[in-house]
Structure 1
């Protein structure tokens, strides 16, 4: 299998798109949310990509797996913050559902990548 940059990973591409959607979304939030929910959503959504990239750069599969699992945690954290945004009436139910689908798509890709790395670890 040829070397693949983290930028070529479909999971990283989808997480990047999601991160950009979150960034656009929080621009609509009221000013008082700048140091509350906005400052929670932006870092958690950025962390998904960062963890995938950092794990990709590690030498061993256990390290790669660990960072992917952290990325999955950041994805869950981001969904939780989106639910908070809905509860605070900052986003609509339709928006939450749309973003939840994106989270589920990324989670499936991330779980697939984790399984791939786990299988690669056991075959060596």
Structure 2
């Protein structure tokens, strides 16, 4: 293998950093949810938010842009899932309107960043052959 091979580091992606911060916020928040939601809403919400960052990390570590795009798209779907679970948390009064609006706004910002990231990958794919 080439000794000068550049290894990409997903941790420098601003979208991953933003996602990691959201994951930490949600992790603290769900500690206040009722115990009976532990294996329902809490589990789903935590899995969804972790999926965003995990898919960004997995995709960014891939050698091929097309595979990276697939994982970025999965991350996008997980972000949508987070938004849906936040609505459920609000409707069940597990979070306040203010908490909901902050977290939903942060998730929406991540979605916009993912769109930009995917567009950048599309541009790279058009200039590359893999």
Matched, 1:97 2:107: no
Task: Give the structure with higher Rg (CA).
Answer: 2
Deviation at 1:4, TM superposition (A): 4.4
- Deviation track 1:39-78 (CA, whole Å, cap 9, x = no partner) reads 1111111000000000001111110000000000000001
CA contact (8 A) 2:20 2:53 kept: yes
CA contact (8 A) 2:8 2:60 kept: no
Q: What is the number of equivalent residue pairs in this alignment?
A: 123
Distance 1:9 1:23 in 2: 21
Query: 1:26 is matched with which residue?
Result: 30
Match 1:16 to one of 2, 12, 20: 20
Taking structure 1 as the reference length, what is the TM-score of the superposition? 0.95
- Deviation track 1:54-111 (CA, whole Å, cap 9, x = no partner) reads 0001111110000000000000001100101011111111111111110111111111
Matched, 1:51 2:52: no
| Residue segments in structure 1 that go unaligned for 5+ positions in a row | none
Taking structure 2 as the reference length, what is the TM-score of the superposition? 0.91
Match 2:40 to one of 23, 30, 36: 36
Distance 1:105 1:72 in 2: 11
Match 1:84 to one of 82, 88, 94: 88
Matched, 1:109 2:108: no
Distance 1:90 1:100 in 2: 14
Deviation at 1:113, TM superposition (A): 0.7
| Residue segments in structure 2 that go unaligned for 5+ positions in a row | 1-5
